[in-house]
Structure 1
């Protein structure tokens, strides 16, 4: 028997940078082997895989794909299985995030935001479902507190994440009892790198959290780890990790 085959394999979409990379490191620390998905961030993904493989040989590999290409998602799953032999967990983390002013929403924004935040998680989970069921695995979707409490100026993004919340609960029903499906809803964790929120807006958001501070990617990563590996009787749930912001939005 190959001892490595007993270690769980988790596919993390958008796993090269930011919260996705924190999730990958946390799961690797828990003993998982990582299938790191990326679309454009190949250099960062390769660097992260090298970092993880230096800690534990042959424990990480990079899989580049466009999640908006629905027809290609079964191939992504097949490539992961061909490399590792199994899939025990799926983290649907990859996401587009940008404002869409009402009156200016176009088809391109719809395709991007709905595609990355709702359509891709559905079709990727569907493709991985037989392998997850075989391993009694789990899915964690990264949603958003604004799925249930919309953020002004971002109606399409909020609608997409609201759909993902509903999808998470629906898939928990469809995939039970073999596969658990849950979601994590981050609050202010990492600001967008393109300056969508001014310093004053950031300050106002942080002031509205009960803990009065920004969270860290590791806060999300630890919750994902818990739901994948330490929560065998939790499914169909959304866990906010937001410093209490959603308690009084």
Structure 2
């Protein structure tokens, strides 16, 4: 099915967003949809939530959102989700690599399985999915990787996670060179946007984390969504290989 008119007299651009069921991924999908994009919402463990969000967005503009279930740890499913994302509207304009595993792994207790899982979700899957999507992306398309603002000031106990995100930041620059001039590749580096659902902090710990942020507050998912929307827009047509920090100054503290 060809991409439908977005209501503004032009064909809607199409974005594939990974990890789009909840939190930052859902905010990115909702923001892009609100600006006329058709959206492909990827999820796996939270696929029911992704389907519910797709139905909500589709009710706002018919034929504008779908949800796809895929385990991005499986390379075969990565290829399948890329093909399915393109097939729905016979076009693909953007990929947002947002899906991520994140949990504490203190040195001395790290397992090979934990390393494999954190590398798979934060580095291997974005690389393989980018590779699968590149032949399908329209000329002038774009990729945005969600990295982390604390790569230069990492927290203790998260070594595999930060190693994987550092690789993703490097990958952003490498792919920007390799895919230019046809496709732009950029990153967004969130700071403290939402409290984690795993490794929950006490109120005292939350207050201490907020005190570290120069702007003294969480950023919220919408701040990342708007940064991603900018990097995918024509306003950022001369921006590639950049990683945009959206962290309230946390990286400087």
TM-score normalised by structure 1 residue count: 0.96
Deviations 1:153-209 (A, max 9, x none): 111111110110000010100110010000000011111113432222221111111
Aligned equivalent of 1:186, options 180, 184, 190 = 190
2:135 is paired with a residue whose SS is helix
- The equivalent residue for 1:159 is 163
> Which residue in the other structure is 2:225 paired with?
221
Using the TM superposition, give the Cα deviation of residue 214 of structure 1 relative to its aligned residue in structure 2, in angstroms.
0.9
Tell me which protein shows more helix as a share of its residues.
1
Corresponding position of 2:34:
29
**Alignment map for 1:164-243 (pairs within 5 Å):** 164-229=168-233, 230-243=235-248
SS for the counterpart of 1:146 is coil
**What is the DSSP-based 3-state SS (H/G/I as helix, E as strand, rest coil) of the residue aligned with 2:187?**
strand
Unaligned runs of 5+ in 1: none
Q: What CA deviation, in whole Å up to 9, does each residue of 1:91-135 have, x standing for no partner?
A: 000000001111111111011100000000000000001122x33
* Partner Cα separation in structure 2 for residue 148 and residue 220 of structure 1: 20
Aligned match of 1:76 in 78, 81, 88? 81
What secondary structure is seen at the aligned counterpart in 2 of 1:57? coil
Is 2:117 the counterpart of 1:117?
Answer: no
SS of residue matched to 1:147: coil
Q: Does 1:107 align with 2:106?
A: no
SS of 1:49's equivalent in the other structure is helix
Give 5+ residue unaligned stretches, structure 2.
none
Partner of 1:15: 20
C-alpha separation in 2, matches of 1:99 and 1:55 = 39
- Asked if the contact 1:12/1:90 (under 8 Å) is kept, the reply is yes
Which aligned runs of 4 or more in structure 1 are off by greater than 6 angstroms?
Answer: none
Give the distance between the partners of 1:3 and 1:53, measured in 2 at CA. 12
Whether contact under 8 Å (2:3, 2:13) holds in the other structure is no
Does residue 67 of the first structure (1) align with residue 96 of the second (2)?
no
Q: Report what 1:52 is aligned to.
A: 57
SS in 2 for 1:63: strand
User: Quick one: structure 1 residues 147 and 209, their matched pair in 2 at CA, closer, same or farther if it must change by over 3 Å?
Assistant: same
Q: Is the 8 A contact 2:3 2:12 kept in 1?
A: no
Find the residue that maps to 2:68 and give its secondary structure: strand
- Cα shift at 1:148: 2.5
What RMSD over aligned residues (CA atoms) do the two structures have, in Å? 1.3
